[in-house]
Structure formats: C-alpha cells, structure tokens
Amino acid sequence: MIVLGIESSCDETGVAIYSGDKGLLAHQLYSQIKLHAQYGGVVPELASRDHIRKLPLLVNAALKEAGLDFSDLEGIAFTRGPGLIGALMVGATYSEGLGLALDIPVLGVNHMEAHLMAVMLEEEKPSYPFVTLLVSGGHTQLVFVKAFGDYELLGESLDDAVGEAFDKTAKIMGLPYPGGPELAKLAENGDSERYTFPRPMLNRPGLEFSFSGIKTKALLTIESATEADYPDIAASFQAALIDTLIQKSLRALKQTGASALVVSGGVGANQYLRSELRRLSELGQFNVYFPRSEFCTDNGAMVAYLGHERLSRGEKSEQIQLVARWPIDQVTNQTDV
C-alpha cells in the first residue's frame, strides 16, 4: 500500500509518502519557526493559515520526489490529535477532500503514537516489548509498548514537559524560539558541574516527572548571573534534566523487564541525551534506539509510517473528529474491537 502522511498539529507542516514494499519514498517538511519567533511562541491562528499556504505545495513536492501521481496513492493518514485544533483542521480537511476525490481510505492518527513509531523507519529498530521515553514540547512520558497499538502509560510529567522546561529557560536567557536546541548548543561550551540543579522526583519511587521546580531554580540562577555564566548554567541545567530522564528510563526498564529503550519526540534530538544513553547502553544492560534527529521533531514521515500500518490493517475514519488531547493509552486498534 502507498500512503500519504500529513502532519499539521503545531508549527511544522510535514508531508511524506510511505510504501509497504519500498519504505519511505518522499519526505517534505516546512517549519514555521521564523513566523513564530518574533512572538516567542506558536501563535495558533498564524500556524493554521501557514499550513493552508504550504500543505498543497508540499504534497506536490512529495509526489514529485517519489515520482508518483495522485492516482498512485492508496490511502491518506493525517494527525488527528493531540495538537492545536485549527492547525489539525487544515491537515484533516485537506486529507478528507483528497480522499473523497481519489476514492481512497483516510485515517486520523495519534501524533504521540506517530512519534513512538518513528523509530520503525530506521534500520536499527527494537522488537516488542520495549519502553519508550516520549519527550517533546508538550509531553514527557514513559510508555510500555507491549505490541503495536498496546500501550501502557508508566509515568508522565505532573507539570511542565521537558521540552517546555528547555524552551522557557532558554527564553529567560534571551535565546531565540524554540530555545531547546539553542540552549543545548550553548551548553556544549559550558561546565555542567559549576551549578547544582536538583534532580526532581529521583528520591521518590515511581515514574512521574516534575520540571517546574528546576525551572524556577534556573530563573533565580540566571537573575543573579551575568551572560558570561550562561554556558555553565545551560550545561548544568541540561545535565540535571537529562540525568532525570535517564534515571527514570532505567527505572522503567527494570520495572517492566524490557531490555530495549526507545527515545522519541523533539527532545530526543538532544545530542547529550543520545550520547549518554549510548554510553550506558554499551555497558551492556539494555539496547537503545533513536529515530534519526529529523524524525525526532515533528515530521510527516512518522505519520505516513503509522498510517500505513493502520490503513493496511483495514482501519479508516468515517468522519473528521479532531482532539486537542488524546492520551497514548487510549489509542486502540480498530481491527481489535
């Protein structure tokens, strides 16, 4: 089956084409970062309008990249949630319209499940069961993936997502939006041991996270520092966040008995997180898997892949129903019902 995947949940317009026989045939991405940078965060109305402008162009480009025509498409998958409703609406209505015109099935998929499955686009992929650390701008979750479509939420952040903690702290330092990668860049030249940041929730049992306290500590530290100290603050702050993510992930592996850890979502692009987990994995206790960095952040390839898995099992959406919130453990396989 050849599936067109469309991602428009936030500030990236992503389009990709996935073939069951040949794998990923095309992948096009347009980031709205420049549009929103002047406001210091995503402006939902502007995001929707920009998706409208870019989506048809990206679909044409993806078809060209794959050497295909519209008539070659056999299914369409779009992100149904979680996300900004207006932005989701653009991908959904485009998909429904195109699906009707081509008379092919259309399916709305879960954005977080798409992040979770992005690793399956890589040559090195885990076998079930595995634990996934989902770390993005809106989510910090540990998920036990027992099988395709069978997800148990082991723990999540009680307040801010880790990407949000990165972004807000970066903003206080005056770094451009989105601050996560900028803060990580600044940290490369910093001393991670100069400042002591708490490792939140590590002294308590369980797999919950909390990042609001460490963010406040970062604010106070920045207020009493000069710009010359920023690289050391960034390095110390990043080390505390990443250390917490890693310790909880190891705890999740132990709790579930799984031997494979997958990291997905935007913060999964963080090089320090990747290198620390690779180093620990080489000590032999577990295997670690990552999507390539460009498939950690929002993209259409993960939607096309997940859409292919579900559409080829016979699933389809009868009508558009968008959801701002859609917990990962409420995702089911239609064909199981």
Binding site as annotated, residues for Fe cation: 111, 115, 298
C-alpha–C-alpha distance, residues 313 and 48, integer Å: 31
CB of 270 to ligand KG4, least distance (A): 3
Segment interacting with ligand KG4 (CB under 6 A) among 66-74, 122-130, 174-182, 329-337 = 174-182
CB of 184 to Zn ion, least distance (A): 17
Q: Which is nearer to ligand KG4, 81 or 99 (CB)?
A: 81
Strands laid side by side in the 106-110 sheet: 23-31, 12-19, 2-7, 75-81, 106-110
DSSP secondary structure, 129-188, as one string: SEEEEEESSS-EEEEEEEETTEEEEEEEBSSS-HHHHHHHHHHHTTPPSSHHHHHHHHHT
Binding partner selected for residue 84 from Zn ion, ligand KG4, none, CB under the kind-specific 5 to 8 Å limit: none
Binding partner selected for residue 138 from ligand KG4, Zn ion, none, CB under the kind-specific 5 to 8 Å limit: ligand KG4
Name residues contacting ligand KG4, limited to 202-261 (CB under 6 A): none
Residues 56, 58, 63, CA angle at the centre, nearest 5°?
Answer: 100
266 is a contact residue toward ligand KG4 (CB under 6 A): yes
* Dihedral Cα 159, 162, 164, 170, nearest 10 deg: 130
300 is a contact residue toward ligand KG4 (CB under 6 A): no
132 is a contact residue toward Zn ion (CB under 5 A): no
- One-letter identity of residue 129: P
269 is a contact residue toward ligand KG4 (CB under 6 A): yes
C-alpha–C-alpha distance, residues 249 and 231, integer Å: 27
The token pair that represents 166 in the structure block: 């990165």
Plot region of 315 (φ>0 → left; ψ -120 to 50 → alpha; else → beta): beta
Pairing of strands 260-264, 287-289: parallel
Binding partner selected for residue 94 from Zn ion, ligand KG4, none, CB under the kind-specific 5 to 8 Å limit: none
Task: Determine contact, residues 7/111, Cβ cutoff 8 Å.
Answer: yes
14 is a contact residue toward ligand KG4 (CB under 6 A): no
311 is a contact residue toward ligand KG4 (CB under 6 A): no
CA distances from 222 to 49, 146, 160, 188 (A): 36, 43, 19, 18
167 is a contact residue toward ligand KG4 (CB under 6 A): yes
CB of 45 to Zn ion, least distance (A): 20
Name residues contacting Zn ion, limited to 287-316 (CB under 5 A): 298
136 is a contact residue toward Zn ion (CB under 5 A): yes
180 is a contact residue toward ligand KG4 (CB under 6 A): yes
Binding site members: 111, 115, 134-138, 167, 180, 270, 298
Interacting residues with ligand KG4 (CB under 6 A): 10, 136-138, 163, 166-167, 178-181, 184, 265-267, 269-270, 297-298
